[in-house]
């Protein structure tokens, strides 16, 4: 098994030229809750002006057109390992490791032995259908529990990939959740305020009333919003980044990314 450890030199290099996260700290229209329906203060509604000030947008950046590659050969990535770094790329990114997480995953593998990188296989198309990717992650972990019981997992999701990981986390069994060491989401289009896992660009708890652009649309239509359960949200395993536009950020993690 992997021993609990810090990775002081591991970093998350986040190129976010297409992400805008703005908020109005004085706005108190949101009430946190555990249901999958958006909840509002009874005295106000999210109008167009307010929602424009509270969106955490996830767009398409020019860097998404850069060539992608696997870090670990596919045949090796499928074998048992001490830990697996499973990442789901954003919309229109080509198959392979997401550019959002490539430097972080490279760095972890270089500094912590025994790991492999496994990009999620799914279309990442504009229609936002993540079903095949969800099945890929769930099946990978389920098979790992049977054949590689000591294997640990770190999950990464960017933009549409963050949606994918949100949905995956709602489908996993208790043993599967226990095998997950950490979850990092960036540009979550269903991000809502009031979550313990919400963090800002410096990985500090984010109390701003920032709303993902798909969450805003779901609110307007009274539709279900994919959310973390209270237990997972408060587990300390999840970091949900909402990042500022046109900023290049390096986050050093003081706490372990991979633990037993």
Q: Using one digit for the tens of pLDDT, what is the confidence trace for 51-68?
A: 333 344 433 344 444 455
* Cα torsion angle, 183, 232, 160, 132, sign: positive
How far apart CA 94 and CA 92 sit, in angstroms, is: 6
Smallest CA-to-CA distance from 199 within 33, 64, 12 is with 12
Give the whole-number percent of the chain exceeding pLDDT 90.
42
Predicted pLDDT of residue 100: 86
CATH number where 188 lies: 3.40.50.1820
Q: Is residue 260 part of a domain?
A: no
Question: Mean pLDDT over all residues of the chain?
Answer: 74
How far apart CA 86 and CA 18 sit, in angstroms, is: 23
Residues 116, 85: contact at Cβ < 8 Å? Answer: yes
Predicted pLDDT of residue 194: 87
Look at 24 and 214; give whichever has higher pLDDT. Answer: 214
Q: Is residue 2 part of a domain?
A: no
Residues 97, 69: contact at Cβ < 8 Å? Answer: yes
How far apart CA 175 and CA 57 sit, in angstroms, is: 34
Expressed as residue numbers, the domain containing 141 is 11-252
How far apart CA 88 and CA 71 sit, in angstroms, is: 14
Predicted pLDDT of residue 36: 45
CA 242 to chain centroid, in Å, comes to 10
Q: What total of structural domains would you count in the chain?
A: 1
Residues 256, 6: contact at Cβ < 8 Å? Answer: yes
Residues 198, 174: contact at Cβ < 8 Å? Answer: no
Residues 199, 188: contact at Cβ < 8 Å? Answer: no
Q: Is residue 243 part of a domain?
A: yes
Q: Is residue 5 part of a domain?
A: no
Does the predicted TM-score (pTM) go above 0.75? Answer: no
DSSP 8-state assignment for residue 159: T
DSSP 8-state assignment for residue 4: P
Q: Is residue 1 part of a domain?
A: no
CA 117 to chain centroid, in Å, comes to 16
Smallest CA-to-CA distance from 14 within 130, 99, 126 is with 99
How far apart CA 222 and CA 173 sit, in angstroms, is: 28
| Res. 29: pLDDT tops 70 | no
**pLDDT-wise least confident of 32-36, 83-87, 128-132:** 32-36
Smallest CA-to-CA distance from 85 within 107, 52, 61, 63 is with 107
The highest-confidence range among 40-54, 153-167, 246-260, by mean pLDDT, is 153-167
Residues 171, 156: contact at Cβ < 8 Å? Answer: no
Q: Is residue 259 part of a domain?
A: no
**Model confidence at 25, in pLDDT bands (50, 70, 90)?**
very low
Number of residues that make up the chain: 260
How far apart CA 183 and CA 86 sit, in angstroms, is: 10
The highest-confidence range among 66-75, 88-97, 213-222, by mean pLDDT, is 88-97
Q: Taking residues 2-23, what's their average pLDDT?
A: 35
Predicted pLDDT of residue 259: 56
First to last CA, the chain: 6
């Amino acid at each position: 098994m992997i021993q609990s450890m810090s990775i002081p030199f591991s970093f998350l290099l986040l190129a976010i030229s297409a992400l805008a996260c703005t908020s109005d700290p004085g706005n108190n229209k949101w009430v946190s809750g555990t249901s999958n329906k958006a909840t509002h203060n009874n005295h106000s509604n999210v109008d167009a002006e307010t929602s424009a000030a509270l969106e955490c947008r996830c767009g398409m950046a020019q860097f998404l057109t850069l060539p992608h590659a696997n870090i670990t050969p596919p045949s090796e990535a499928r074998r048992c390992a001490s830990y697996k770094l499973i990442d789901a790329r954003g919309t229109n990114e080509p198959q392979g490791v997401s550019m959002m997480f490539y430097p972080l995953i490279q760095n972890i593998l270089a500094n912590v032995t025994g790991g492999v990188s496994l990009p999620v296989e799914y279309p990442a198309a504009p229609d936002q259908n993540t079903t095949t990717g969800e099945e890929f992650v769930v099946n990978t972990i389920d098979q790992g529990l049977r054949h590689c019981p000591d294997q640990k997992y770190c999950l990464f999701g960017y933009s549409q990939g963050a949606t994918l990981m949100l949905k995956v986390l709602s489908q996993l069994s208790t043993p599967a959740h226990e095998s997950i060491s950490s979850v990092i989401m960036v540009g979550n289009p269903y991000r809502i305020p009031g979550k313990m896992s919400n963090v800002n660009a410096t990985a500090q708890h984010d109390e701003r009333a920032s709303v993902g652009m798909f969450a805003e649309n779901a609110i307007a239509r009274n539709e279900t919003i994919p959310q973390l359960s209270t237990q997972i949200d408060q587990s300390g395993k999840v970091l949900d980044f909402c990042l500022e536009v046109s900023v290049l950020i390096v986050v050093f993690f003081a706490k372990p990314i991979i633990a037993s």
